[in-house]
Amino acid sequence: MNKSIPELDKLFSEIGTYRRSADFKKLLKFMKKFPRIAPYNAMLLHIQKPGSKYVTSAYDWNRNFNREIKPGARPLVILRPFGPVAFVFELGDTYGKDPFPKELLNPFKVEGKVSNAAFYSLINNIRTDGILYVEADLGSSSAGFIRISDSKREERIIRNKKEIWVKILYDMVVNKNHSPETRFATIVHELGHAYCGHLGTPGPEWWGDRRAVGGNEREFEAESVCWLVCERMGIKNPSAEYLNGYLRENQEIPNISIDAVLKAAGMVESMIRGSKEPHKEIIVGIVETK
């Protein structure tokens, strides 16, 4: 086995974890229950304890829910930002006099709407990866596409009272005639193609170069990224129909990279929730603003 293959993909390849469509579907449903936990960490939780209902740290169990950890309870390991790992505990491994809020066991409610804040946070942040978002009249049969740009265009980003000009590496064109939710899902789908490396990569520190991946695998990966992001946000999306149909009609999923899918979904979610700094490789100028 090639040592460059990420550990999750080695697990997937060597012992068939989540290879069966039924198992992959269970994984997606599990990850949907934990929208506040990064996709990669939700995957780690499923590997360790697939029956988990709610997890948080021992400190948060005590501070927020007045609950203690049962003696001998086994901690679950997740990745920590800017650090190695963190330990969390599942609801069943805690005890307390106060009842646990039932609404937290089902945090996901399908409202079918995307907020303006989430929509514009995403399209503003993708420019930090050199992606230009454009809406166009594409006709009812086309949702949109992403491609490597040949325009040599530069765009402005405002960060911390600085005007930062960056090179545009990719053009993303989305059908302006579609609803905000469909446009949002299209953006996420096309970002899935980019961040899974289907168009190559500007550099190895950005994301992997996976241009050799076949067409069927590419679409399944992009649809999986779209499904994860939208479902975890409560947004109706066309990827649900695609994935449900595929998983129903095929016993096994394509030979995809789960590692790439989860990393791509995490990148998209982080841009929806906060501000992102541009890659230094595409910065062409910085101007201080008043």
pLDDT tens digits for range 175-229: 999 999 999 999 999 999 999 999 999 998 999 999 999 999 999 999 999 999 9
Region 149-160: mean pLDDT is 91
Residue 138: its pLDDT value, please? 84
| Structural domain total, the chain | 2
The residue type at 242: Y
On whether both 167 and 88 belong to a single domain, the answer is no
**Averaged pLDDT of the chain:** 90
On whether both 47 and 175 belong to a single domain, the answer is no
Residue 113: its pLDDT value, please? 86
Residue 256: its pLDDT value, please? 93
Q: Is residue 152 part of a domain?
A: yes
Residue 88: pLDDT over 90? yes
Residue 110: pLDDT over 60? no
2 band by pLDDT with thresholds 50, 70 and 90: very low
Residue 8: pLDDT over 90? no
On whether both 97 and 122 belong to a single domain, the answer is no
On whether both 171 and 127 belong to a single domain, the answer is yes
Domain range for 137? 116-288
Residue 78: its pLDDT value, please? 94
Q: Give CA–CA dist 240/231, Å, rounded.
A: 8
Residue 4: its pLDDT value, please? 57
pLDDT tens digits for 247-283?
A: 999 999 999 999 999 999 999 999 999 999 999 999 9
Show the DSSP H helices in the chain as ranges. 7-15, 21-32, 39-48, 58-65, 116-125, 180-195, 215-233, 239-249, 258-273
pLDDT tens digits for 14-37?
A: 777 888 999 999 999 999 989 889
On whether both 52 and 140 belong to a single domain, the answer is no
Q: How far is CA 54 from the centre of its chain?
A: 20
Q: Could you tell me the pTM of the whole model?
A: 0.90
Q: Is residue 12 part of a domain?
A: no
Region 224-237: mean pLDDT is 92
82 band by pLDDT with thresholds 50, 70 and 90: confident
The residue type at 238: P
Q: Give CA–CA dist 235/204, Å, rounded.
A: 32
On whether both 80 and 52 belong to a single domain, the answer is yes
On whether both 83 and 125 belong to a single domain, the answer is no
Instruction: Using the 3D structure, point to which of 105, 133, 161 is the last residue of a domain.
Output: 105
Q: Is residue 280 part of a domain?
A: yes
Give 10 or 207, the one with higher predicted confidence: 207
On whether both 74 and 209 belong to a single domain, the answer is no
Q: Is residue 110 part of a domain?
A: no
Instruction: Using the 3D structure, point to which of 53, 82, 105 is the last residue of a domain.
Output: 105
What angle (nearest 5°) sits at the alpha carbon of residue 33, between those of residues 249 and 16? Answer: 45
